[in-house]
């Protein structure tokens, strides 16, 4: 499985076509779901896929694109909690693109972000110190309430 993952990641890196990159992400989603023995290096996947997924979410607002990507993020987070450090998971969501997504006006993307935050927070052990994730969640809530008030 890890060889297939490496090949798909190299295809993502070599192609600039967004459709090919998206389909590679969907292929990796299925590979991740099937990885019951945790043989994949999820640290590499987090570093490669999260920025790409965030770029897709920033560009496309179709539910046919957004929900499968959020599902991929959730699968990735679920498996990463067993193999990656807390800091690796936190770093994956510190990009400027993710912070830009927090101010989206799209109800679809807002719902997807709510699901993502729920899954990010649940992924961590209750004793883990994740103030930056809580800060991002609070920023998102604050922005959402400002839009409602206006």
Entry pTM:
0.77
Please tell me the predicted confidence (pLDDT) of residue 9.
93
Q: Left (φ > 0), alpha (ψ -120 to 50) or beta: where does 122 sit?
A: alpha
- C-alpha distances (whole Å) from 30 to each of 7, 34, 104, 150 are 14, 6, 28, 41
Please tell me the predicted confidence (pLDDT) of residue 122.
80
- The tens digit of pLDDT for each residue in 53-85 reads 988 988 888 889 888 998 898 888 888 878 887
- The tens digit of pLDDT for each residue in 19-35 reads 999 999 999 999 999 88
């Amino acid at each position: 499985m890890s060889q297939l993952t490496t090949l798909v990641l190299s295809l993502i890196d070599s192609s600039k076509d967004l459709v090919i990159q998206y389909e590679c992400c969907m292929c990796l989603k299925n590979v991740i779901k099937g990885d019951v023995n945790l043989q994949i290096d999820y640290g590499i996947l987090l570093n490669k896929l999260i920025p790409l997924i965030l770029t897709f979410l920033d560009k496309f607002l179709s539910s046919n694109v957004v929900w499968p990507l959020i599902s991929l993020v959730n699968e990735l987070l679920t498996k990463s909690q067993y193999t990656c450090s807390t800091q690796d998971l936190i770093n994956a969501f510190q990009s400027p693109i993710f912070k830009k997504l927090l101010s989206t006006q799209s109800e679809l993307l807002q719902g997807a972000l709510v699901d993502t935050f729920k899954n990010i927070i649940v992924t961590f052990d209750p004793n883990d110190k994740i103030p930056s994730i809580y800060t991002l969640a609070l920023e998102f809530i604050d922005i959402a309430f400002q839009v409602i008030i206006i």
